Chain A
Amino acid sequence: MPINLTLSTNGIQDWQAIRNGDERAFELMFKGYYQSLCSFANSFLGDIDEAEEIVQQVFYSLWAKRDSIEVNSTLKSYLYKAVHNSSLNKIKQGKVRQLYADSYKATANVTTHSTTDIVQGKELEAIINDAIAELPEQCGVVFKMSRFGNLKYAEIADELGISVKTVENHMGKALKLMRDKLKDYLHVLIWFLIFNQ
């Protein structure tokens, strides 16, 4: 079995190598997806430590059960789906419910600041996170999968069992709602764009 030096497009070769116990292929996959999966989980949990724990558990399970796990979609889709499901289970268990609520309150308070204040870095991030948190449920899930998971519309549709057209509609709706919610912060957003080019 050849050792993969880069992640393949669909992950089929990587998965075959991992199933055969190729530790280097597993390490490559871990390094390739760990950060973005943590960001993805964090978007649901609002706690980076919990997010990292979830992602580590998903990778651990994948390795430990590699003989019995069937990856029917792409490896990337499998990982995002597993992290998505584990994150939702964690929330349902209520272990992070209070933390999530506190985090939500903290970011919600930021929007009461005067728009003439100089809002930078983390504050802008809090404003955007607050706006994302206020998106309708399905719309928010689709937007987060796109933003944090870097998933294509077709991949999101596949993960959620909805049509690509519905994903398009959710993203268009997210654009409208984000524009409405952020309209008082246009000057900050322009500042952000200028200094992040």
Chain B
Amino acid sequence: MEDNNEHIDILIAKVAMGEADTKEVQQLTDWETLSEENRLYVAQSKKYWVPCLL
């Protein structure tokens, strides 16, 4: 799970920073909708990430 999420972490960071292209945004969205676990992972990551960027 951790190793698999390395790529997802990169995608989440890119999307949050406005660095992702349309294909990458779609890729993250697709992964997010695969399971409730994935959805929670992305949602929680954003909650940690956003305050760190302010």
Interface set of A (CB-CB < 8 Å, partner B): 124, 128, 131-132, 146-147, 152-153, 168-169, 171-176, 178-179, 182-183, 186, 189-190, 192-193, 196
Is the beta-carbon distance between A182 and B48 smaller than 8 angstroms? yes
Contact of B47 among A152, A168, A190 (CB under 8 A): A190
Whether A175 contacts B45 by the Cβ 8 Å rule is yes
Known contacts being A128-B52, A196-B54, is A186 close to B13, with CB within 8 Å? no
Q: Is the interface of B mostly helix, strand, loop or mixed?
A: helix
Instruction: Report the interface size for chain B: residues with CB under 8 A from the other chain.
Output: 21
A72 to B37, CA, bound (A): 47
Secondary structure dominating the interface of A: helix
CA distance A176 to B17 in the complex (A): 15
A196 to B7, alpha carbons, bound, how many Å? 29
Q: Bits for B30-54, please: 1 = Cβ < 8 Å to A, else 0.
A: 0000000000000011011111111
CA of A189 to CA of B48 in the docked complex: distance in angstroms? 7
How near does chain A come to B40, taking the closest CB pair, in angstroms?
Answer: 12
